[in-house]
Structure 1
C-alpha cells in the first residue's frame, strides 16, 4: 500500500508538470507551433496552417484533460468519498480519449517522418480507444480488477507525446539519427513501451493470488 501511494505521488508530480508544460508551450510560448513545424519537410499534402493549429489546440486540450481526469480516478481517497464523481469523471476521460484520437486522425497525415510516422499514429489511434473500451466493459460487468488493469493500460497512452519526444531525443542525440528518423523511431518505440510498462506495473502492484494448497 505504501508503495502504491508513493507511486501515485510521483505520478501526480509528473502529470502536473507535464500538463503545465504542454499548456504554456502550446498556448503561450509557441502558439503557432513554429519550432515543431520547422521539422515538417516534404509533406505529400498541403498543410492548411489555421485549420491544423485549431485542431492541434483541441488535441492538446483534451490530451491534458485525459491525463488530469485519469489521474483523479486513480485516487483511492476520491473513489472512497464519491463513487458518483469517479463514474462521471471516468466518462469525461473516455470522451477525452476519443477526441484526442479523432484530432490525431486529422493530424496524422502531416506527421513528421511522412507515411511511416502516419501509420504509427494511426496504429496508436486504434490501440488506445480499444484498450479504453475494454476498461469500460470491465466495469460494466462489475469486474473491478479487470477494469483497473485495463485503465492502467489505457492511462499509459496519455504519455504518448512525452514518450515519443524522449525517445526521439535519445535516437537523435544519442545515436546520431536525423530528427525525422528519430521521430519515427520514437513513435514505434513508444507503442512498444506503452504496451509493456503497464504489464510490468500490473504484475508488480497486483500480483495474482497464489492458489492455496490443501493438505
Structure 2
C-alpha cells in the first residue's frame, strides 16, 4: 500500500510537470518548433511545415490528455468515488492514445535520424496500441488485475517523448555523440525501458486489486 501511494505521488508530480512543460514549450516558447526542426537534416521527404506543425500540435495536446486521463484513472480515491467516471475517462484515454498513434505515424517519416528512427517510432506506436487494446479487452472480460497491469504498461508509453529526450541529452551532451546519433539511440533505448520499467513497477505494487 505504501509503495503504491508513494509511486502514485511521484507519478503525479512527474506527469503534471511534464504536461505543463510540453504545453509551454510547444505553444508558447517555441510554437514553430524551430529548435527541434533544426536537427532534421537530410530528410528523404519534403516537409510541409504548416501541415507538420498542425499534426504536431494535435499530437502534443492528445498526448497531454492521455497522460492526464491515465493519471486520474490510477487514483484510488477517484475510482472509489465514481466507477462511471473511471470508465468514461478510460475511453478518453483510449481515444487519446489512438490520436497520438495516428499523428505519430504521420510524423514518423520525418523523424530525426532518418529511416532507422522512423522504424523505431512505428514500432513504438504499434506496441503501445496493442498493449492498450489488450488492457481494454482485459477489463471487458472483468479481469481487473490483468487490466491494471496492462494499463501500467500502456501508461508508461505516455513518457516516450520525455525518455527519448533524456537519453538523447545524455549521449549528446554527456558522451559527446552527434545529436542525430544520440536521438536514434534515444528512440531504441526508450523502447527497451518502456518494456522493462512497467514490469518492475507491477512487481513492486503487488497483486492486490486496488
Considering the TM-score relative to the shorter chain, is it more than 0.5? yes
Change (3 A) 1:207 1:82: closer
- Determine the structure 2 residue equivalent to 1:55: 55
- Determine the structure 2 residue equivalent to 1:28: 28
- Determine the structure 2 residue equivalent to 1:131: 131
Count of aligned residue pairs for this structure pair: 208
- Determine the structure 1 residue equivalent to 2:162: 162
In the alignment, the residues of structure 1 paired with residue 137 and residue 159 of structure 2 have an alpha-carbon distance, to the nearest angstrom, of: 23
In the alignment, the residues of structure 2 paired with residue 93 and residue 77 of structure 1 have an alpha-carbon distance, to the nearest angstrom, of: 18
1:80-114 C-alpha deviation (Å, 9 max, x unpaired): 00000000000000000000000000000000000
Residues 57-66 or 1-10, more deviating: 1-10
State the Cα distance separating 1:3 from its structure 2 match. Answer: 1.9
State the Cα distance separating 1:63 from its structure 2 match. Answer: 0.3
In the alignment, the residues of structure 1 paired with residue 9 and residue 130 of structure 2 have an alpha-carbon distance, to the nearest angstrom, of: 28
State the Cα distance separating 1:207 from its structure 2 match. Answer: 5.0
State the Cα distance separating 1:29 from its structure 2 match. Answer: 0.7
User: TM-score of the superposition, structure 2-length normalised?
Assistant: 0.98
1:173-208 C-alpha deviation (Å, 9 max, x unpaired): 222211000000000000000000000111121159
Runs of 4+ that moved beyond 3 A? none
- Determine the structure 1 residue equivalent to 2:67: 67
In the alignment, the residues of structure 2 paired with residue 142 and residue 175 of structure 1 have an alpha-carbon distance, to the nearest angstrom, of: 48
**2:165, 2:186 within 8 Å by CA — same for their partners in 1?**
yes
**2:3, 2:204 within 8 Å by CA — same for their partners in 1?**
no
Larger radius of gyration: 1
- Determine the structure 1 residue equivalent to 2:42: 42
| Alignment RMSD (CA, Å) | 0.9
Whether 2:176 is the aligned partner of 1:176: answer yes
**2:78, 2:86 within 8 Å by CA — same for their partners in 1?**
yes
1:137-160 C-alpha deviation (Å, 9 max, x unpaired): 110000000000000000000000
State the Cα distance separating 1:2 from its structure 2 match. Answer: 1.8
User: TM-score of the superposition, structure 1-length normalised?
Assistant: 0.95
- Determine the structure 2 residue equivalent to 1:193: 193
Whether 2:44 is the aligned partner of 1:18: answer no
In the alignment, the residues of structure 2 paired with residue 98 and residue 155 of structure 1 have an alpha-carbon distance, to the nearest angstrom, of: 13
State the Cα distance separating 1:47 from its structure 2 match. Answer: 0.2
- Determine the structure 2 residue equivalent to 1:212: none
3-state SS of 2:44 partner: coil
In the alignment, the residues of structure 2 paired with residue 176 and residue 35 of structure 1 have an alpha-carbon distance, to the nearest angstrom, of: 19
- Determine the structure 2 residue equivalent to 1:211: none
- Determine the structure 2 residue equivalent to 1:4: 4
- Determine the structure 2 residue equivalent to 1:145: 145
